[in-house]
Structure 1
Amino acid sequence: MNRVIKKVAVLGSGVMGSRIACHFANIGVQVLLLDIVPKELSDDEKKKGLTMEHPLVRNRIVNTALQTAIFSKPAPLFDAKKASLVKTGNFDDDMKSIAECDWVMEVVVENLDIKKKVYDQVEKFRKPGTLVTSNTSGIPIHLMAEGRSEDFRKHFAGTHFFNPPRYLRLLEIIPTPATDQKVVDFLMHYGDLYLGKETVLCKDTPAFIANRIGVYSLMSGMHVVEKMGLTVGEVDRMTGPIIGRAKSATFRTMDVVGLDTTVNVSRNLLQGLPKDESKDTFKLPKIVEELYNKKWWGDKTKQGFFKKTVNEKGEKEILELNLKTFEYGSRTKASFKSLEEVKDIESVKERLPKLINATDKAGEFYRATFYDVFRYCSMRIPEIADELYKIDQAVCAGFAWELGPFETWDLVGVKATAEKMKAAGMEVSPWVHEMLATGNTSFYKFEKGQKLYYDIPTKSYKPIPGKEGLIILDAFKENKVVWSNAGATLYDIGDGILDLEFHTKMNSLGQEVIEGINLAIAKAEENYRGLVIGNEGANFSAGANLAMLFMYASDQEFDEIDLMIRQFQTTMMKARFSSVPVISAPSGMALGGGCELSLHCDAIQAHAETYIGLVEFGVGLIPAGGGTKEMTLRASDSYAPGDPELNHLQEYFMTIATAKVATSAHEGKALGYIKPSDEITLNRARLLADAKRKAIELSEAGYTQPLERRDIKVHGQSSLALFEAGITGMLYGKYISEHDALIARKLGYIMSGGDLSSPTEVSEQYLLDLEREAFLSLTGEPKTVERIHSILFKGKPLRN
């Protein structure tokens, strides 16, 4: 059967249901979102004289839920216009419409009896062969399939999304014994390719994989916190980005999720795992139990491990809970020697071994928590998964860990760590000892561009299923490195294509990266047929190295600044005029110089979660790496006969002047940063492979080296007058400062092509020269230097 998903029904419009509906809309699928009919009229409905039969009343719950989702932060939609794909209704009037749907997903309250009543209705109206899945996180999947028809059971499974569904990459697929294997294969493939998810096949065990391991890790850590007497601030400093975890770390995450949710999951696991050798870990530590009983559950109750208040000065302040007295006070500043020693190491893979082996209190905490999770994960095979890679995939994608337990164990040495764990009273599963006894010393290894995992039954290494054709840069590090320096590495990724990876802090574009871009293009032109610029990190590039610019500007070394801008512009134009295709593969932040580099590549293959923008205005500058030039060029290309050209130009001007950053690749297209012809990849793991494919396509299509554009239409004095009127109005209205106005005037001067008497066509180099002059003059402004200082040393923008 060639299964095509054109329309999906989502039953239940709560937090998860409404946001799952939005994510299907993100990929262009029509959605029918249903929920219950209200039991009575609201006060507002009574005032309006509505009755219970009125459609607005009957769909009030679902409509309110959808609107709440659409306007929530972070946004569940790539583009607000996608909301039009979601149609709403209610179970009583519209359940019959699921006959038009190809997939019915149930997302109602976690109550088996209620779910079964919903499935009674689904069975009544669904057409045979329609997929039916549940997003449950706590009810065994097989229980929900009991008593259903054969066709229903064949097409039924669990599809467990993580919240928020747009951003968290995990989708757990949980079949029952009756689920047709073709259905399982389809869900795995669809989740990966179309929904952009890390699809992990799970067994029907309590909490499946991610929550089982993630909640165990959390509760294990809480017991260690209590034992060691650590503070909230110390723990969140140790368990955040420094070890490759979310910025919200431990306690802030619990406040956001809700302590009641954590407690409920932990208690369910304690009751549902009578044979788990570590089930007592799921018993609540006293500090958690105390907060739970006080109903200090986090954000939903306005206080938890943190509490927002207003101090005597009227300023907002966040207080931190003292875990001994349960009183709130000022936030503690954690200071550990080991954390200070690794703060300048950009790679988590390099930091973790140093932290876990540190001799201070932080090292003690890391060993206690990491070792216990290593042990627990080894014991869960084959209970929750037959293959170890599934545990790493699920935890990383579901909890935003950069490295999974087995990947981390590999980093610190499997054998040496197992011996240390034994000495600490933590015994690992026998299969780990068997693996080591056969001479296999790691859980993963790389061969011929593939990542292999240790297969326990066969005692051999096998490729990870579903990863065929993906590009994993670690797999190329042994013998496919063409060149490298401190800031970048150039790989031969096969088929005549190179990949340039940045690895500076936030992938900023310093001297080493600029050198890497120039050399990569030269190498590609000499012996290859294309170049991809992309990495596997959280961000493509946060922009140019401001520290160097600040030093030069403070010392008034304007010749050095001029040389730096010229070199940057020359590098961007090399990307534009390369004799082979150059593809940018951004994901995460692509800001400032990172955006400018992408603008000058032949094509952008963007991850859906690309946050791209020219943000130089915020530090008192204008884009001078060709960004202003390129946006002026794109405005010129957008003009059609009869268009109000100045209005088009003003839109591009405002995009730069307000430092707009796209909140998705789709919005990046709307803002003009990403061209309509550029493609978007939903699954982050596929990004580099898709970018490589794009480079090959352009090469095989008869790629021709571009020539400098000399037909960029600028409007001179007419657009200068338009910009001046807008700037003056904003200034008088006190929406901008005098310095903002100065920067805006310089930006307008460039985009107008200077003080020309009439519309004229100019060259790219002409605009680049104007960019450079404006940028150089702004670095001589004290207020610009103050703005750069604030970003560098205070981490926040300054309005002066």
Structure 2
Amino acid sequence: MTDIKKVAVIGAGVMGASIAAHVANAGVPVVLLDIVAKDNPNRSAIAEGALTKLLKADPAPFMSKAAAKFVTTGNIGDNLDLLADCDWIIEAVVERLDIKQNLYAAVEAIRKPGSIVSSNTSTIPLKALVKGMPARFSKDFIITHFFNPPRYMRLLEVVGGENSRADAIETVTRFADVMLGKSVIFCKDRPGFIANRLGVFWLQTAVVEALDLALDIEEVDAIIGKPMGIPKTGVFGLIDLVGLDLMPHINASLSAALPKDDPFHVVNQPMPLVEKLIAEGYTGRKGKGGFYRINREQGKQKEALDLKTGTFRPVRKPVVEAIEQGGSKLDRLLAHESVHGRYAWQVLSRTLAYAAALVGDATDDVAAIDEAMRLGYNWKYGPFQLIDQIGVEALVTGLNASKFPIPAILRIAEGRPFYRVEDGRRQVLGLDGTYHDLLRPEGVIMLEDIKLKSKPVLKNSSAALWDIGDGVACFEFTSKMNALDPDIIDLLMRSIHLVAKDFKALVIYNEGSNFSVGANLGLALFAANIAAWKDIENLILQGQTAYGMLKYAPFPVVGAPAGMALGGGCEILLHCDAIQAHAETYTGLVEVGVGLIPGWGGNKEMLQRWFTLGRLPKGPMPAISKVFEIISTATVSKSAAEAKELLFLRPTDAITMNRYRLLADAKAKALALVPDYKPPESVTFNLPGPSAATALKMAVDSFFRLGKATAYDVVVSSALADVLSGGDTDITVPTDEKTLLTFEREAFSKLARQPGTLARIEHMLTTGKPLRN
């Protein structure tokens, strides 16, 4: 199996350009080509313009703007020779067979032997793409269907042809998995493959049934949302996000390609209302709105389309009796005697039946369909996991009552669930009617698997310590949103003592959506409201002590974050010996947003990093000013790569692209640190004292006068300035960590008593947004 060291993407549209950006995110050189620009002296203007747009796009296709240096732009008229040394050539041009095949002929003339060519198509069969092409080309050709946006969507559907080399598929799969962070699903050469074929059927069914029952779109999005484990965009919000104008094209493509007896044809009905919206420019969020819109003439009022009248009206809170009466539990919702219960059943039962019908057609693997919908459409549960929640027998009974055909896999199941755990092993039902072990790819360790076979070493209501083998322990947060509370701090200290005695190393990791959103603000507000100031002060001291124990523990500690790692969640990472971060890690010290400053050592750790690792002019003020800027503006990294630029991660810390590989990589890093490990030495700081604090406060005051900072921003930033400058000290007098922690603790406790801080905390808990007081 050859390595992929250089990639080319042909087609610099939104999708092709974004694929190129994500290859660059992996640190791999990539060539981006498009057609020659007409009436432009710069013949490569299209590809160059696409790169410029990538650097400005939000959400950002690049994990760091520095990644753009890996992209080389050009045009297919002059620069096809750039493909000569590429190992993987990705075609992402318009969905026209003649254009693709003409391009393939040109590529075939220039590419090196053994290079892999793939198409990003989602509508044209592989057989049609390679028809008439040389045998060498057919052997090296596959389909690699990325999902948009490629950086954030983890699904990659791969289709091999009759003649495709097995090692070509293996090479691309390994690269996509490890370097691009993709979960690769193998599909048969069928129209729409898996995710879009099922996803489009689901959306079309949901819209048709909503129109038929004349429901409010807010009701629909509430029903097809949380109760089914589907993102809060629901149906109509998702269509707005993807684009209404894409629906007719996708539907027409599937309709032309699918067999005449496919159930899709039943729901693929004309929708004059949608056609009218598109004609009037309502193409979704990228246009002036879709099923929802913002009426700027009415003070940015959010409006929803009334499906009965075809006119917009103010958005209203949905009243769904089926959900309010406990119908958020799926079985109760589906059985509810109301129009909403009937709607939920009609949409979900038909979608699940269609998913079942894909087994043996689009794929033979039940688990592949579930993974495709979890990662391609962000469903919390795949369709067969939903069937298990409902019960196979209940679904079959309901389908029979509706006179709906029963797919073969449902008959094969004979009422049994599709998933089970046997002797600590996860298993899935196959087409042969027997259960098969669900195997992870080589090099993947998941805590959820470990939990099936073992019990925690230590545990309380908010955290647990697990033995993950080879002398490595894993500390896991289990509280809601992994918010940090006294129970977590207590168990962390107990774990440090136990790991020192019984293990070689510690990894801090969990499999929640977010590593940690920071301290539990609800507890803090409660303590403040009853004037339990001593409890707040003790919690800050306890956290400082625990994080200090972590930093100076006699064994290596590796933090393994993914998602948000904010406030105290960021601070725990700052005290680890090393970090193995998932690429999509968003970390920062955000305490100023709730009227506080970091209280668990984050200030001193950031000072130490910028003094020792920051490439700044000499002297204390550049480092202090930089840390002040980062903390006072509650800066959060938009990726792990950006976290390195901010020094939330060190240059030596590592990044894992595939979320599933994070724990294994963190464990390996921890074990690599074990030989001859010595805890870090304590540090001292030479801080300027009041003169530095005055300079920082003057800068904040100027922002206040310009209207860029609020009155309470000045209060909080002033407290931060005093801590970072070392209090009432002199640059010739060393300030040790203990003293700096005391300043931090005193400033935190003082701010916690202020009405302005309490107002910010309450507002954050109520709205999820910072208060600008």
Normalised TM-score (structure 2): 0.94
- Deviations along 1:357-377, one digit per CA (max 9) or x if unpaired, are 666665544333332222111
Corresponding residue for residue 51 of structure 1:
none
User: Residues 216 and 30 from structure 1, CA distance in 2 versus in 1: closer, same or farther, beyond 3 angstroms?
Assistant: same
Matched, 1:186 2:171: yes
Does 1:790 pair with 2:763? Answer: yes
Counterpart Cα distance in 2 of 1:362 and 1:525:
56
Residue 67 of structure 1 is matched in structure 2 by 52
Please report how far the alpha carbon of residue 719 of structure 1 lies from its aligned counterpart in structure 2 after TM superposition: 2.4
Q: Does 1:131 align with 2:131?
A: no
Q: CA RMSD in A?
A: 2.5
Q: How far, CA to CA, are the matches of 1:328 and 1:456 in structure 2?
A: 48
Select the residue among 141, 146, 150 that pairs with 2:131.
Answer: 146
What is the CA deviation profile of residues 636-693 of structure 1, one whole-angstrom value per residue up to 9, with x for unaligned ones? 3337897243112211111101100000001001111111221111001111222222
Which of 298, 316, 327 is equivalent to 2:300?
316
Q: Answer yes or no: is 1:408 the counterpart of 2:386.
A: yes
Which whole-Å deviations, capped at 9, do the CAs of 1:409-449 have from their partners, x for residues lacking one? 22343344444444444453233333337xxx332234566
Give the partner amino acid of 1:743: V
Deviations 1:733-777 (A, max 9, x none): 332123212211211111111121224332222111111110111
1:340-355 map, 5 Å: 352=330
State the number of aligned residues: 772
Query: Which secondary structure does the structure 2 equivalent of 1:791 belong to?
Result: helix
Are the equivalent residues in 1 in contact too, given 2:27–2:67 (CA < 8 A)? Answer: yes
Asked if 2 retains the 8 angstrom alpha-carbon contact of 1:8 and 1:102, the reply is yes
Matches within 5 A, 1:258-277: 258-277=243-262
Q: Name 2:154's counterpart in structure 1.
A: 169
Relative to structure 1, is the Cα distance of residues 280 and 144 closer, same or farther in structure 2, using a 3 angstrom cutoff? closer
Amino acid across the alignment from 1:251:
F
1:639 & 1:87 partners in 2: Cα distance? 30
Aligned counterparts of 1:225 and 1:239: Cα–Cα separation in 2: 11
**Contact 2:458–2:464 (CA under 8 A) maintained in structure 1:** yes
Shift of 1:282: 3.9
Residue type at the aligned position of 1:192: D
The structure-2 alpha-carbon separation of the partners of 1:77 and 1:351, relative to structure 1 and needing over 3 Å to count, comes to: farther
Question: Residue 381 of structure 1 aligns to which amino acid in structure 2?
Answer: V
C-alpha distance in structure 2 between counterparts of 1:340 and 1:604, whole Å: 44
Q: Which residue identity does 1:14 align to in structure 2?
A: G
Q: Judge conservation of contact 1:485–1:512 (CA < 8 Å) in 2.
A: yes
Query: Contact 1:336–1:361 at 8 Å: present in 2 too?
Result: no
Contact map agreement 1:12 1:35 (CA 8 A) in 2: yes
The amino acid that maps onto 2:481 is M
Alignment of 1:258-337 (within 5 A): 258-284=243-269, 286=271, 287-288=273-274, 291-292=277-278, 296-312=282-298, 315-336=299-320
What residue is the counterpart of 1:454 in the other structure?
429
Q: Which residue of structure 2 aligns with residue 643 of structure 1?
A: 618
Partner of residue 22, structure 1: 21
Mapping for residues 765-784 of structure 1, pairs under 5 Å:
765-784=738-757
Q: How do 1:698-777 residues align onto structure 2 when only pairs under 5 Å count?
A: 698-699=673-674, 701-706=675-680, 709-777=682-750
Q: C-alpha distance in 2, partners of 1:640/1:296?
A: 49
Residues 415-424 or 739-748, more deviating: 415-424
Residues in 1 aligned to 2:559 and 2:225: alpha-carbon distance in whole angstroms: 29
Residue 496 of structure 1 contacts residue 530 of structure 1 at CA under 8 Å; is this kept in 2?
yes
Q: For residue 535 of structure 1, report the CA deviation from its aligned partner.
A: 1.8
2:517 corresponds to: 542
Match of 1:215 in 2: 200
How big is the shift at 1:458?
6.4
Cα separation, 1, equivalents of 2:476 and 2:164 = 42
More deviation, 499-508/372-381: 499-508
Aligned 1:567-716 pairs, distance under 5 A:
567-638=542-613, 643-699=618-674, 701-706=675-680, 709-716=682-689
- Contact 2:690/2:722 (8 A) holds in 1: no
Report the residue type matching 2:623 in the other structure: H
Q: Distance in 2 between matches of 1:503 and 1:165?
A: 30
| AA of the residue aligned to 2:361 | E
Does residue 1:249 correspond to 2:224, yes or no? Answer: no
Question: CA offsets per residue over residues 695-732 of structure 1, 9 Å max, x none?
Answer: 22223x2333445x242332323422431332232233
Q: How does 1:432-443 map onto structure 2 within 5 Å?
A: 432-436=410-414, 441-443=416-418
Alpha-carbon shift at residue 468 of structure 1 (Å)? 6.0
Checking the alignment, whether the CA contact within 8 Å between 2:154 and 2:376 is kept in structure 1 is yes
Inter-partner Cα distance in structure 1 for 2:8 and 2:644: 29
SS at match of 2:429: strand
| Structure 1 position 187, deviation (Å) | 1.4
Relative to 1, partners in 2 of residues 1:74 and 1:642: Cα closer, same or farther, differing over 3 Å?
Answer: closer
Cα distance in structure 2, aligned partners of 1:365 and 1:523: 54
Q: Deviations over 1:247-276 (max 9, x none)?
A: 433212211211121222122222321244
Q: Is the alpha carbon distance of 1:795 and 1:746 closer, same or farther for their aligned partners in structure 2, counting shifts above 3 Å?
A: same
AA aligned opposite 1:16: M
Distance 2:352 2:123 in 1: 24
Which amino acid counterpart does residue 52 of structure 2 have in structure 1? Q
Structure 1 residues 760 and 339: CA distance shift in structure 2, 3 A: farther
Q: Which runs of 5+ in 1 are unaligned?
A: 42-53, 344-349
8 Å CA contact retained: 2:191, 2:257: yes
1:399 aligns with 2:373: no
Q: For 1:137 and 1:530, locate their aligned partners in 2 and report how far apart those are by CA, in whole Å.
A: 46
1:551 aligns with 2:526: yes
Which one-letter code corresponds to 1:729 in the other structure?
A: S
Per-residue CA deviations over 1:373-419 (Å, capped at 9, x if unaligned) read 22111111110001111111112111122221112222343344444
Identity of aligned residues (%): 37
Query: What is the Cα deviation at residue 148 of structure 1?
Result: 1.5
Query: Among residues 496, 512, 519, which one is paired with 2:471 in the alignment?
Result: 496
Aligned-residue offset at 1:142? 1.8
State the alpha-carbon separation in 1 of the partners of residues 341 and 506 from structure 2: 42
Paired AA for residue 702 in structure 1: D
8 Å Cα contact 1:669-1:675 kept in structure 2? yes
Aligned partners of 2:559, 2:331: CA distance in 1, in Å? 32
> Residues 445 and 451 of structure 1 are in contact (CA less than 8 Å); yes or no, is this contact kept in structure 2?
yes
Given the superposition, is the C-alpha separation of residues 140 and 309 from structure 1 closer, same or farther in structure 2, using an over 3 Å criterion?
same
8 Å contact kept, 1:449–1:472: no
Cα distance change, pair 659–341 in 1 and its aligned pair in 2 (3 A): farther
Per-residue deviation at 1:242? 5.6
Evaluate the alpha carbon distance shift between residue 501 and residue 371 of structure 1 in structure 2; reply closer, same or farther with a 3 A threshold: farther
| Partner residue, 2:70 | 85
Give, in angstroms, the shift of residue 450 of structure 1: 4.7
Name the CA distance, whole Å, in 2 between partners of 1:471 and 1:400. 20
Q: Secondary structure at the match of 2:361?
A: coil
Residue of structure 1 equivalent to 2:12: 13
- Contiguous gaps of at least 5 residues in structure 2: none
Match of 1:501, SS? strand
Q: Structure 2: how far apart are the matches of 1:180 and 1:306?
A: 47
Question: Paired residue for 2:406?
Answer: 428
Which amino acid is the alignment partner of residue 539 of structure 1? N
Verify the 8 A CA contact 2:54 2:62 in the aligned structure 1: no
- The CA distance in 1 between the partners of 2:493 and 2:375, in whole Å, is 35
Q: CA deviation at 1:21?
A: 0.8
Quick one: which amino acid aligns to residue 326 of structure 1?
Answer: G
Match of 1:476 among 451, 455, 480: 451
Query: Which amino acid letter does the alignment assign opposite residue 703 of structure 1?
Result: Y
**Per-residue deviation, 1:539:** 0.9
Q: Secondary structure at the match of 2:79?
A: helix
Shift of the alpha carbon at 1:166? Answer: 0.3
The Cα offsets for residues 19-56 of structure 1, whole Å up to 9 and x where unpaired, read as 11111111111111111122224xxxxxxxxxxxx3xx
TM-aligned CA distance change 1:730 to 1:431, over 3 Å? closer
Corresponding residue SS for 1:334: coil
Q: How far apart are residue 64 of structure 1 and its match?
A: 1.4
